[in-house]
Structure 1
Amino acid sequence: MSASVLAVPQPVAARPISPVPAETLSRGALADPDASLGPDWAGSKDQLVAGAGDRSGFHLFVARERDAFAWSNLTTLNAGLPDVGNWTGSVCVTGSGKRAVAVYAPTSYSNKPELATKGAYVAVVDLTNGKVVPLKERVQLAYYNPSCGAGERVLVTRPTDVDQQTTEVIAIDAAAGKVTSTVRLAGQFTNAAPAAEGDYGILRGGLHRLRAGKLTKLADPGGQPFAVRVTAAGAVDVLTVDEAKPGVEARASAHRYDGRRHTVLGTGRATGLELVGLSGGRNALVGDIAGIRRHPADLVLLKAGDKTRVASREGHLLLMSASPAETGQADRRTRLDVTVRATRSGRESRHTVTTTPKAPADVAAPRAGRRQAPSAQITGEVITNPFFRPTCAVPRNDIRRQVLQPSANQVEWAVDLAVQGKLTVSRPANYLKTGGPAYTPQGLFPLPSGPRVPAQVMLAVLAQETNMAQASWHAAPGDGGNPLVSDYYGSRSSSSWGWDYIDYDSSDCGYGISQVTDGMTWDSTKWTEAERVAISSDYAANIAAGLRILVEKFNQVQSLGISVNTNDPRYIENWFLAVWGYNSGVHPQGEPGANGNYGLGWFNNPANPSYPANRTPFLRINTDDASHPSDWSYPERIMGWAEVPQWQWIDPVTKYSKPLFGSSSNQLSLPSRYQFCGAANNCSPFGDNSGCDESCWWHGSTSWASEAAPLSTEKLVYAVGSAEPAVKAVYPKRCTPFSASGALVVDDLKDSSINPLGCAGQSWGGKFTLRLGSPAGDGNSFYADIDVHQLGAGYLGHMWFTHSVDDSDAPLHQVVGTWTPNIRSGIKSWDIVVHLPSHGANETAAEYLIQPGIGIYNDPRDQERTCVVNQDSATQGADRWVSLGRHTLGPRARVQLSNRITGANGEVDIAWDAMAFVPATGTAKSCGTAW
Structure 2
Amino acid sequence: MRKLRPVRSGIAGLAATAVLTGLIQTVAVADEPAPQPAKQPPEKAATAPPAPAAVPAEGRSRLLGKEWRASADRAWTTSSDAQGFHILTADKDDGYSWKTAASLSEPGFDADAWIGNACVTASGKHAVAVYAPRTFTNKPELMTRGAFTAVVDLTTGKVTKLLLQSSLAYFSPGCGQGEAAVVSQFTDDSAKQSGTRLVTVDAQAGKAGKAGKPLSLKGQVTSAVPYRDGIAAAAGYQVVKIGANGKRTPLATTSGVPFQLRTDRDGCVVFLDRTGKDRGTVKRFHAGRTSALATGRLADMDLSASAAGTVFITGKAKTSRTLPGAVKNPGVAKDATASTRGQAVIVSRWQDTKKPPQGADALSIRPVSTSILTLATGRTAKLTASPGDIPVSDARMPQGKNTSPALTAGAGTPKAQRSAAAASPNDPVEDERTCAVPRGSVVKQALQPTPPAGRVGREPGGHRRPGHLDHPALELERHRYECLFAAGPVPAARAGGRPERGPRPPGRVAHPVPDPARDHRPGIQHVAGRTNRGAGPDRQPADRQLLRDQVRRRRQPG
Same fold (TM over 0.5): yes
Aligned equivalents of 1:142 and 1:293: distance in 2? 32
Of 191, 213, 237, which aligns to 1:205?
A: 237
Retained in 2: the 8 A contact 1:324–1:335?
A: yes
Letter in structure 2 aligned against 1:165: S
Aligned to 1:151: 178
Retained in 1: the 8 A contact 2:295–2:319?
A: yes
Post-superposition offset of 1:69: 1.7
Post-superposition offset of 1:264: 1.0
Letter in structure 2 aligned against 1:171: T
Aligned to 2:316: 288
Post-superposition offset of 1:313: 1.2
Aligned to 1:72: 99
Aligned equivalents of 1:266 and 1:299: distance in 2? 11
Q: What SS does the corresponding residue of 2:61 show, helix, strand or coil?
A: helix
Gaps of 5+ in 2: 1-48, 390-396, 443-448, 450-558
Aligned equivalents of 1:215 and 1:262: distance in 2? 18
Letter in structure 1 aligned against 2:89: V
Letter in structure 1 aligned against 2:291: T
The answer to whether the aligner puts 1:363 opposite 2:363 as a matched pair is: no
Retained in 2: the 8 A contact 1:333–1:355?
A: no
Retained in 2: the 8 A contact 1:122–1:139?
A: yes
Retained in 2: the 8 A contact 1:54–1:324?
A: no
Of 102, 110, 132, which aligns to 2:129?
A: 102
Output one character per residue of 1:892-924: Cα deviation in whole Å (capped at 9) or x when no partner.
xxxxxxxxxxxxxxxxxxxxxxxxxxxxxxxxx
The answer to whether the aligner puts 1:27 opposite 2:44 as a matched pair is: no
Retained in 1: the 8 A contact 2:77–2:348?
A: no
Post-superposition offset of 1:327: 10
Aligned equivalents of 2:434 and 2:276: distance in 1? 49
Q: Give RMSD over aligned pairs.
A: 3.4
The answer to whether the aligner puts 1:229 opposite 2:262 as a matched pair is: yes
Retained in 1: the 8 A contact 2:163–2:211?
A: no
Aligned to 1:384: 428
Post-superposition offset of 1:339: 3.5
Aligned to 2:290: 262
Post-superposition offset of 1:388: 3.5
Post-superposition offset of 1:186: 1.1
Q: What SS does the corresponding residue of 1:110 show, helix, strand or coil?
A: helix
Aligned to 2:78: 51
Aligned to 1:313: 340
> CA 1:318–1:287 in structure 2 vs 1: closer, same or farther (change >3 Å)?
same
Letter in structure 2 aligned against 1:169: L
Where do residues 753-902 of structure 1 align in structure 2 (5 Å cutoff)? none
Aligned to 1:188: 220
Retained in 2: the 8 A contact 1:25–1:70?
A: no
Aligned to 1:241: 274
Post-superposition offset of 1:30: 6.6
Letter in structure 2 aligned against 1:227: Q
Aligned equivalents of 1:179 and 1:340: distance in 2? 35
Of 248, 266, 271, which aligns to 2:299?
A: 271
Give the TM-score of the pair, scaled to structure 2.
Answer: 0.59
Retained in 2: the 8 A contact 1:74–1:130?
A: yes
Of 328, 331, 342, which aligns to 2:373?
A: 342
Post-superposition offset of 1:24: 12
> CA 1:104–1:390 in structure 2 vs 1: closer, same or farther (change >3 Å)?
farther
Retained in 2: the 8 A contact 1:275–1:286?
A: yes
Where do residues 603-622 of structure 1 align in structure 2 (5 Å cutoff)? none
> CA 1:208–1:121 in structure 2 vs 1: closer, same or farther (change >3 Å)?
same
Post-superposition offset of 1:220: 1.6
- Structure 1 residue ranges, 4+ long, deviating more than 6 angstroms after superposition: 327-330, 393-396
Output one character per residue of 1:759-795: Cα deviation in whole Å (capped at 9) or x when no partner.
xxxxxxxxxxxxxxxxxxxxxxxxxxxxxxxxxxxxx
Retained in 2: the 8 A contact 1:312–1:318?
A: yes
Aligned equivalents of 1:346 and 1:395: distance in 2? 65
Which entry has the higher C-alpha Rg, 1 or 2?
2
Retained in 2: the 8 A contact 1:119–1:138?
A: yes
Aligned equivalents of 1:208 and 1:132: distance in 2? 33
Output one character per residue of 1:208-254: Cα deviation in whole Å (capped at 9) or x when no partner.
1112320012222213322111223321111123343xxxxx22211
Aligned equivalents of 1:68 and 1:138: distance in 2? 36
Aligned equivalents of 1:146 and 1:394: distance in 2? 43
Output one character per residue of 1:625-651: Cα deviation in whole Å (capped at 9) or x when no partner.
xxxxxxxxxxxxxxxxxxxxxxxxxxx
Retained in 2: the 8 A contact 1:315–1:343?
A: no
Aligned to 2:148: 121
Gaps of 5+ in 1: 1-22, 245-249, 399-436, 438-931
Where do residues 580-659 of structure 1 align in structure 2 (5 Å cutoff)? none
Post-superposition offset of 1:82: 3.1
Retained in 2: the 8 A contact 1:167–1:189?
A: yes
Where do residues 479-558 of structure 1 align in structure 2 (5 Å cutoff)? none
Letter in structure 2 aligned against 1:322: R
Q: What SS does the corresponding residue of 1:117 show, helix, strand or coil?
A: helix
Post-superposition offset of 1:46: 0.8
